[in-house]
A and B are shown apart, each in its own frame.
Chain A
């Protein structure tokens, strides 16, 4: 296999060349790692839908830098405050992307960054509110060329 490995293929070996062959099963494994990460973040509490929105391109040509934004509908005052937002990518070798922590000085619980996506997958964001509730949203991004750590 090494003889015909493309440059990008070589970059991806780090995450397991076999992933290409057993893509379906591996995706399931990644997805459960994402569920585990969500459970660790929420402490087992249910994450409701609504309030939080993930913005990401429908199709990303280059998986190395995909612009994403998370925004939570919150007054950022008193108990209506977003404490943290965790961002996960369920098709990456490690689902964790970033955790954003907001403060009373944050006027809006919104932030954007650029991420690496190894393959077509979902971006999942979970917001932790000050009152202990959790909100979740996901958006799928089609990746033309994966950004396997490269």
Chain B
């Protein structure tokens, strides 16, 4: 399987109170559990990213509970009002127990 790699787009610098748009994408097959193996007829077990969370300096910003109906390579875009300089942390949890994390710093001024 291709290596699962999260990608996020966060402005490096912002003003306090500025509204920034954050775009995130993780390469993940999002196996829905509905498909069958064409050769064996066996159902391919479900393996999706079931949870996505974004937090800033430990405070929650945005969370998504994800169902199999979200496309492969799940993409989320949302906004945040920058309260201060700090670090934005992103976390994806998959059905197979894998946790993918990344973070980005935001400077102020």
Contacts and interface: CB of A to CB of B under 8 A. Distances in A.
A116 B33 CA distance: 13
Contact of A147 (B33, B66, B71): B71
A113 B76 contact: yes
A111 B74 CA distance: 13
B35 A150 contact: yes
B78 A110 contact: yes
B85 interface: no
Interface on chain A toward B: helix, strand, loop, or mixed SS? mixed
B68 A149 contact: yes
A115 B35 contact: no
B94 interface: no
Contact of B62 (A103, A117, A150): A103
A100 B76 CA distance: 10
Chain B contact-residue range equals: 20 to 34
A14 B19 contact: no
A53 interface: no
Contacts of A14: 34-36, 43
A105 B69 contact: no
A-side interface size class: 35 or more
Contacts of B36: 10-11, 13-14
A106 B82 CA distance: 9
Contacts of A117: 69
Given A10-B36, A13-B36, A105-B59, A112 B76 contact: yes
Given A15-B34, A64-B72, A106-B80, 17 more contacts: A10-B36, A14-B34, A97-B70, A100-B63, A100-B64, A103-B62, A105-B56, A106-B61, A106-B78, A107-B81, A111-B62, A111-B64, A111-B76, A112-B78, A113-B74, A114-B70, A149-B33
Interface of B: 19, 32-36, 38, 43, 56, 59-72, 74-81, 83
